[in-house]
Amino acid sequence: MQDTALYQYLLGLQSPWTVSRVNLDLNSQRVDVWAEHPEDVTWVCPHCTKTLPLYDHAEERTWRHLDSCQFQTHLHARIPRVACGEHGVVQVPVPWAAPRSRFTLLFERLAIDVLRQCDVSGATRILRISWDEAWGVMQRAVTRGRARKQVRMVRRIGVDEKAAAKGHRYLTLVCDLDEGTVEHIAEDRTQASLDGYYTGLTQAQLDGIEAVAMDMWEPYIQATRAQVPEADEKIVFDRFHVMGHLGKAVDTVRKQEHRELMASGNETLKGSKYLWLYSRENVPERRREEFAALRHQALKVGRAWAMKEALRRLWHYVYPASGWKFWKRWYFWATHSRLEPIRKAAETIRRHIDNIVTYYQHPVTNAMSEGLNSQIQKIKSMACGFRNTEHFKTAIYFHCGGLDLYPC
């Protein structure tokens, strides 16, 4: 078999394209392959599919292809142009590459597979491509995948904010809680950030939303009320965010009490910060005894902690009436605790309680898609500070968008 026939076969080139020449360069470890076609074939205008004769060729272009063993392999060709009466002089598509890509489809597929498995700098080393080329592959894949996305019902959504980088720039993420995919990413965490998701939906899709898990964050509440029919029955304030607010209050109590104790040289609370923030069952084994001893002292933070742990029961009830009864008792306890941070947190929770107990109808939380959250966390740490949020967004859609990324 001749080398031209071999490469025609390896590249999968079909009529009218053939391989005219193959050059192997041992010193630079590369193979160059030239593709050409007979002069007399007709081509199709990419805009109107009219059949036309060859007009001329564009400048020769090069595409990176899958390596031939250890040799980097590059395909060269001059793209034919046709003169369409309606669309002017235009390039025809070539079967081995997407328009404007400098890689063949097969290479681009491989690059997508590698990028899905490792971080960008790892992929650049394995594939021997540049950082910008790797981002190009990801961006094209995401654009393709989003354009192909079918209209479907997303019944239970989670709205969450993520700090995009240091300096507290936020992104708003909308997730499909059942599929574990990121459906929408917007800059900032304003009402407009979430509006952008809702306005992209059809009325049937808006009607189809059954539950929206979110933090007690006014702009998200307003956006949802304005766009989602019967939003008040569908908004469910995320239990982990609610507990997070209470956790902060416990920490404030600890800090104040620690300061008071230290004023008289009492170091009881030194190094105890995380003990009070863990859920009871998550306190590390080696610190259990120490923590039990602390809890048996008459500390303010001990009382605050007990109230935090007690509130977790709110989400364990099955019957709303029992849940309400429990809530009223807890609220009385918290507001009579003489612990100001706890009282304040209890007030915040009371103002939002109607849409916390919607949990009994729709047991959703933002943490439902565990896989998704850890994936996003991984993307964030892998990126060690995305230089721009566009890259962060692209990476999230690429890894978590549930998109069909491959070139056709």
DSSP string, 327-396: HHHHHHHHHTS--HHHHHHHHHHHHTGGGTGGGGTS---TTS-HHHHHHHHHHHHHTTS-SSHHHHHHHH
User: What whole-number distance in Å separates Cα of residue 382 and Cα of residue 118?
Assistant: 9
Query: CB under 5 A: which stretch of 15-23, 46-54, 241-249, 329-337 binds Zn ion?
Result: 46-54
Of 5 and 89, the one with the shorter C-beta distance to Zn ion is 89
φ and ψ of 79, to 5 deg: -80, 130
CB of 99 to Zn ion, least distance (A): 15
User: What whole-number distance in Å separates Cα of residue 79 and Cα of residue 37?
Assistant: 10
Contacts of 100 (CB under 8 A, 6+ apart): none
Of 66 and 92, the one with the shorter C-beta distance to Zn ion is 92
CB of 84 to Zn ion, least distance (A): 3
Tell me: does residue 84 bind Zn ion (CB under 5 A).
yes
Task: Tell me the one-letter amino acid at 96.
Answer: W
Among 25, 56, 87, 332, binds Zn ion (CB under 5 A): 87
Rg (CA), the chain: 30
Query: CB under 5 A: which stretch of 85-93, 314-322, 350-358, 396-404 binds Zn ion?
Result: 85-93
Tell me: does residue 88 bind Zn ion (CB under 5 A).
no
Of 87 and 313, the one with the shorter C-beta distance to Zn ion is 87
Q: Are strands 211-214 and 235-237 parallel, antiparallel or unpaired?
A: parallel
Tell me: does residue 259 bind Zn ion (CB under 5 A).
no
CB < 8 Å & 24+ apart, contacts of 173-177: 173/376, 173/396, 175/366, 175/369, 175/372, 176/402, 177/211, 177/213, 177/364, 177/366, 177/368, 177/369
Query: CB under 5 A: which stretch of 39-47, 62-70, 227-235, 371-379 binds Zn ion?
Result: 39-47
Tell me: does residue 86 bind Zn ion (CB under 5 A).
yes
Q: How many residues bind Zn ion (CB under 5 A)?
A: 6
Tell me: does residue 148 bind Zn ion (CB under 5 A).
no
Contacts of 190 (CB under 8 A, 6+ apart): 219
Among 45, 173, 201, 269, binds Zn ion (CB under 5 A): 45
CB of 131 to Zn ion, least distance (A): 37
Tell me: does residue 52 bind Zn ion (CB under 5 A).
no
CB of 54 to Zn ion, least distance (A): 15
* H or E element at residue 65: strand 56-68
Among 47, 270, 313, 378, binds Zn ion (CB under 5 A): 47
Among 41, 48, 126, 292, binds Zn ion (CB under 5 A): 48
Tell me: does residue 82 bind Zn ion (CB under 5 A).
no
Cβ neighbourhood burial of 385 (10 Å; 0-12, 13-18, 19+): exposed
| Contact by Cβ (8 Å): 175, 194 | no
Of 58 and 292, the one with the shorter C-beta distance to Zn ion is 58
Query: CB under 5 A: which stretch of 81-89, 91-99, 134-142, 242-250 binds Zn ion?
Result: 81-89
CB of 92 to Zn ion, least distance (A): 11
Binding-site ranges for Zn ion (CB under 5 A): 45, 47-48, 84, 86-87
